[in-house]
Structure 1
Amino acid sequence: MSSLFRRTAAPRERSVTLIGKPDCHLCEDAQAVIEKVCGELGVSWEWKDITRDPSLHDQYWEQIPVVLVDGEQHTFWRVNEERLRKELTK
């Protein structure tokens, strides 16, 4: 098959979820990194509040902030900008 007709995979839709709680300085720091990286890459992200979701509270209360990428735990406590960018661009 000629390289002119080679199929390329469509870009994968990525998503980031920040799980935290109000008045949490680490959560605010994580949000700033997520807003920057996701904004630059055009990746959607959402915030989930453990004080409003008992199952999230039970699962993550000792680790917040927790960052999920595509529904899988990526990191917790501190978000490394370069590590998040690398994950979202692979």
Structure 2
Amino acid sequence: MESQSPRITLIGKPGCHLCDDARAVVARVAAELGVGWTELDITRDESLAEQYWEQIPVTLVDGRRHDYWRVDEARLRAALR
């Protein structure tokens, strides 16, 4: 994860294979475009769990929901430009 202010937030949980796939896409795109990202674990935040439990992984771009279940790499790149 980058140390700069994150533009991408990945919301997921441990043991989630879709989250693992999403993490790989987010990390790759963030590194290539030089943007920061962070990851939040719904098992550690009750309000996130209530909001996103059935949609994880969820990606936010600049604080707004962008994708859920799967991360479309082309769409993520376009949103960050």
Query: TM (normalized to structure 2)?
Result: 0.92
Match of 1:69 among 58, 61, 77: 61
Asked which structure has the greater CA Rg, the reply is: 1
CA distance in 2: counterparts of 1:27 and 1:64, whole angstroms: 7
Q: Where in structure 1 do 4 or more consecutive aligned residues deviate above 4 Å?
A: none
Percent identity among equivalent residues? 62
Match of 1:26 among 14, 18, 40: 18
Gaps of 5+ in 1: 1-12
The equivalent residue for 1:82 is 74
In the alignment, does 2:43 pair up with 1:51? Answer: yes
CA distance in 2: counterparts of 1:23 and 1:61, whole angstroms: 14
Gaps of 5+ in 2: none
What RMSD in Å do the two structures reach over aligned CA positions? 1.1
What is the number of residues matched between the two proteins?
Answer: 77
CA distance in 2: counterparts of 1:59 and 1:43, whole angstroms: 26
2:51 maps to a residue whose letter is Q
